[in-house]
Amino acid sequence: MVSAIRFFVPEPVPVCVPEIGLGHGLGHAHGHELSRGSLRGRIHDQRPREEQTERHVSMKHLTRVLTHRKPRPITIIVMDGIGFREDTPGNAVAEAYTPHLDWLLAHCPHTLLKAHGTAVGLPSDDDMGNSEVGHNAIGAGRLYPQGARLVNEAIASGRIFQGKTWANLVQYCRAHNGTLHFIGLFSDGNVHSNLPHLKIMIERAALVEKLPKARIHILLDGRDVGETSALDYVLPFESFLSGLNAEAGVDYRIASGGGRMKVTMDRYEADWDMVELGWKTHVAAEGRAFKSAREAIETYRLENPGTIDQDLPPFVVADDSGPVGPIRDGDSVIFFNFRGDRAIEITRAFEEPDFDKFERRPNPRAAYAGMMEYDTELHVPKSYLVEPPCIERTMGEILSHHGVRQLAVSETQKYGHVTYFWNGNRSGKFDEELEEYEEIHSDRVPFEQRPWMKAAEITDRVVEAIQSSRFDLIRVNFPNGDMVGHTGVFQATRVAVETVDLCIGRIIPAVEKVGGILLVTADHGNAEEMFELDEKTGKVKRNEKGAPKAKTAHTLNPVWLIVYDPVETDGVHLNPEVREPGLTNIAATCFQLLGLEPPDFYDPPLLIFEDR
C-alpha cells in the first residue's frame, strides 16, 4: 500500500507583510489565489520605517540564544542556484509557480544575504558566487580568502614561482627534455579557473625559465561565461601564443580540448567515462583531429547547431606529423583550475599508482601538480602551486563536539557541497556516531530533460529524518536551480524551481508535526537571471533570430534566508544591528536556534528571540 503524502497547503498571501516579516519580502495576491509568477512583485511592510524600528526598541526581554525551548530538528534547505532579482525578464524564479515559497516570504522573518564577491572571500564584488565558496562560507561561519583571490595574491607576490612545486616541474622538463603541459577550464569565469593565471604561467615558462616547448589542453566553458563564447577566448589566445613564440623563440601551442561537460571535468565520481575520454584526448592524443582549435569549434557548431560550448565533443590538434601534444614520459603537467570538485578525478588518474577506474593507455611517467590542493584531507594532489585556505572549526566540527546529531543529504551533483565544502574542504565525518551523510545517486541524463532531478527522493529522506527524531540538525541541498539553470533552458529551469517549491511544501508539515524550525536559503544565484543582459541598458540581449540569448552562468544577486518557526510564529525576529548579512552569518544563526552560544570568532547571528 502506498501511503498518502501530506503537502502543506498555503493560505492566501495577504497584501502586506505581517509584523514579523521585517526583512526583504516578495509576493503578492490576486484575489484569493496564488498565481504563476507570484514572486514578481515585492511585498513591503506598509508601516512606516520608524514604527518598524520602534517595535524592536520597545520589545522587552530579548535574547540572542533560544533557551526556553529546544526545537528539533533545525532543518536547513539550500536551494542551490535560486537567488533573488526584482526584474522579471529571464527570471525563472519569478515566473515559476511557487506557492510555498510565497507563503513563507509573506509570513516568516526573512532577509537577503550577499552571496558573491568579497562577502564569500572572492577578489572583488564583480566576481559571481559559486557553490564551492558558498558552502564554504555557510559552514565556516566567517570569511576566508578563496581560490581566485589566493592565486592572485600568490602571483602578485611571486610566491607561486618561488615554491618548490614550480621549480620541480621546470627541472623535470629540463632533465628529460620534456614538454610542459597545461590542462584546465579555458575562460575568465573565475569560478574554476581564470585565463590570466594561465597566461602568466606560460609567460614565465617561456621568458624566464626558457622552456622550449609547452602544450595547452583547453576545456571549453560556456557555463560560467557566455554559452557560445569559446572563440572569444581562443582567437586572442592564439595571437598571444604566436607573439610569445616569436619573441622567445619557443614552440607553445594548443594541443587538445573539448566541452567541460563532455570531457575531463567530472565530479563526485558521477561519470568516470568523461575522465577516461579526457585521458584519451589529452594524454593519448586520440580522437578527431583538426588543424586548430578554431577549426574544431567552428566545425562542431556547423555539425551540431545549437550546441553550446560546454557540450562540444573532444578534439585533438594535429599537423602533418600527427598530434601536436600527447603527454609522454619526461613531461610535466599543471592542472590550472583552482577549484577542487572537478579537478580531483583527473588528478587521481595522474597520481594514483593503483588507479582502477579505467585503463590508462598510455600511462606516462610525468610530473604532475594542481593549482591548489583540491582535497586537504586526502591530500589530492600531492604537489600544488598555491596553498589552500586553512578552514578550521567549521560549524559541523564544533557542533559534533557539542554532541549535536547531524544529517547531510543531497544527490550526487551537490553531495560534496553539503559535506566536503560545508566542512571546510575536508573529506569524511568529524564523528562517525553523531553524523550521517547520504548521497542520492543522480541520473546520468541532460538536466534539461529531467529538471526535477532527484528532488523527490531527497525529500523522502529528509521527511523521514525529521519524523525520526534522530537528528538535531539536518542540512539538505536541492541542486535543481543551479544544475538546470546552467543548461540555459528557461522552461526547464522554471520547472526546476517549481520542483524545489513542491518539495518545500512536503517538508513544511513534517517540521510542523515535530515542532522543529526550518531555514530556507541558497548558496548563490543562477535561475533568477536566465537571459544575458546589456550592462548599460539592462535590457535582454537577443541573437540573430531575435530570441533572448541564454545565460548559463551564476549571478551577482543576493539570496534569501527565511526562518519558519511553526510553534512561536511571533517570537523570532531579525536582528536589526546586522546591517549587511551574508552567507557567513548562517552558522552562528544555527547555533542560536540549537540553544548554543555562537563562537565569538564567527560572524554574528541574524536573529533575536523574545524570552518566554
C-beta of residue 585 within 8 angstroms of C-beta of residue 604? yes
Q: Which residue from 227, 185, 296, 267 is spatially nearest to 448, judged by alpha carbons? A: 227
Using alpha carbons only, what angle is made at residue 262 by residues 258 and 265, rounded to the nearest 5 degrees? Answer: 90
Instruction: Give me the phi and psi of 152, to 5 degrees please.
Output: -55, -45
Q: Residue 547 has what DSSP assignment?
A: P
**Contact partners, residue 431, CB within 8 Å, separation at least 6:** 400
SS3 content of the chain, % helix, strand, coil (to 5): 35, 15, 50
Q: Which residues are catalytic?
A: 131
Neighbours of 74 (CB within 10 A): 24
Q: What is the 3-class SS of 42-58, one letter each residue? A: CCCCCCCHHHHHHHHHH
Report the distance separating Cα 167 and Cα 601, nearest Å: 38
Distance between CA 497 and CA 442 in Å, rounded? 17
The angle, 0 to 180 degrees and rounded to 10, between the axes of the packed helices 490-514 and 455-468 is 10
CA 45 to chain centre: 33
Task: Tell me how far CA of residue 408 lies from CA of 45, 412, 440, 516, in angstroms.
Answer: 35, 12, 11, 17
Secondary element (H or E) of residue 239 = helix 230-248
Rounded Cα gap, residues 127 and 192, in angstroms: 12
* 292/254 Cα distance (integer angstroms): 8
540 alpha-carbon distance from chain centroid: 25
